[in-house]
Structures are given as structure tokens and as C-alpha cells.
Amino acid sequence: MIDEDFYRQTYREINDSHCIFEKSILTIQAGCRHCRKILIAEREAANCMDEGARQACKRFLKTIMEHARFSLQLRNTNQPLGHAKAIKMQVGSLRGLYAALYPERQLPVPVPDIYALITEAGARYDSPDKLPFTQIILQISAYQGRKRRQKK
């Protein structure tokens, strides 16, 4: 068993360009052409191999978080999200964006390519402020992660 502090230190050293959508990727809810999974001890991590793509994803998620504060029940967008809310935010925002871009298609699981989706949205909506927030926030609110296991 690895010491948690040692794991976090090793994680930061090995994965200095962590994927912004790491939780979505590791829960197999999304994929990305720029993501590379790495193993640290007995755990997985997701690394972004393209800094430009990483920054685009970071801007997208920050913009969505500012608009989804109410649905996530956040007072401050600077506060760190818990694990469940982070997954809800990541997966829901990707599903909402996909639904807005491709209303005639069924939502895929997993969302196939995060960066392609964000790039398509950038080309179609010109500015992050013009994103279809209503559709995105609906999907964030609707997303339910894995149910907790009941103790026997």
C-alpha cells in the first residue's frame, strides 16, 4: 500500500500536465486524442500531451463553472469541487455541449473526443460567452454518477 502523501508528490512530479477532464476520462465517460493514461503505483492518471489543448479545456471548464454555480450549489467558483461534483461538472458539460452541437444525434457514452468537441464549439460560437449555457447546464443538472454501494 502506498502512502497517500507520497502518492500525491509522485503524481505531481510525473503528471505535471494533468488532463483537465481527468475524472471524465478515468471513469470512461469521455475520451480525447491528446490524453495519455499513466500508471502510478496501482492507480491511473490522465496526462494531456498538448499544452494548447489543455489550456483550451481549462478555459472551457472555467467558463462553464462560472455559469453553472447555481446548479452545482456553489457560492464561490474558486472553491475546489468535491469528487462527485467535479465528475458531474465535467461529464455534464461535455454532454451538454455535444447535445447543443449535434441535436439530431443521441448522446454517446463515452463522449469520443473532448478537444474536438471544444474546438467545434469554439468555431461555431466564436466566444466562450456565446456558448449554449442553458443546454449545458441542463445536462450538468441531469447527470447522475455512480450510485453509492450499500453496506451489507
Burial of 51 (0-12, 13-18, 19+ CB in 10 A): exposed
Residue 116, domain member (yes or no): yes
In-domain check, residue 151: no
**40-77 pLDDT tens trace:** 878 888 999 999 999 999 999 999 988 887 777 777 66
CB proximity list for 104: less than 8 A, separation 6 or greater: none
Query: Does residue 150 form part of some domain?
Result: no
* Among candidate residues 39, 21, 38, the one with its CA nearest the CA of residue 30: 21
Report angle CA 64, 67, 72 to the nearest 5 degrees. 90
Report if residue 71 sits inside a domain: yes
Domain contains 78: yes
pLDDT exceeds 80 at position 144 = yes
Q: Is residue 152 part of a domain?
A: no
Nearest Cα to 99, choosing from 129, 81, 83, 120? Answer: 120
Beta carbons of 20 and 61 less than 8 angstroms apart:
yes
Q: What is the pTM of this model?
A: 0.86
Q: Does some domain include residue 148?
A: no
Please answer whether residues 100 and 84 qualify as being in contact, where contact means their C-beta atoms are separated by less than 8 angstroms: no
Task: Report how far residue 55's alpha carbon sits from residue 19's, in angstroms, rounded to the nearest whole number.
Answer: 10
Could you give the CA distance from residue 35 to residue 37 in angstroms, rounded to a whole number?
A: 7
What are the angstrom distances between the C-alpha of 28 and each of 92, 99, 112, 113? 13, 18, 10, 12
Q: What digits encode the pLDDT tens for the residues 20-44?
A: 999 999 999 999 999 999 988 788 8
Residue 129 lies in a domain: yes
Distance CA 118, CA 18 (A): 17
User: Using 50, 70 and 90 to split pLDDT, how confident is the model at 152?
Assistant: low
Q: What is the mean pLDDT of residues 96-122?
A: 96
Q: Structural domain tally of the chain?
A: 1
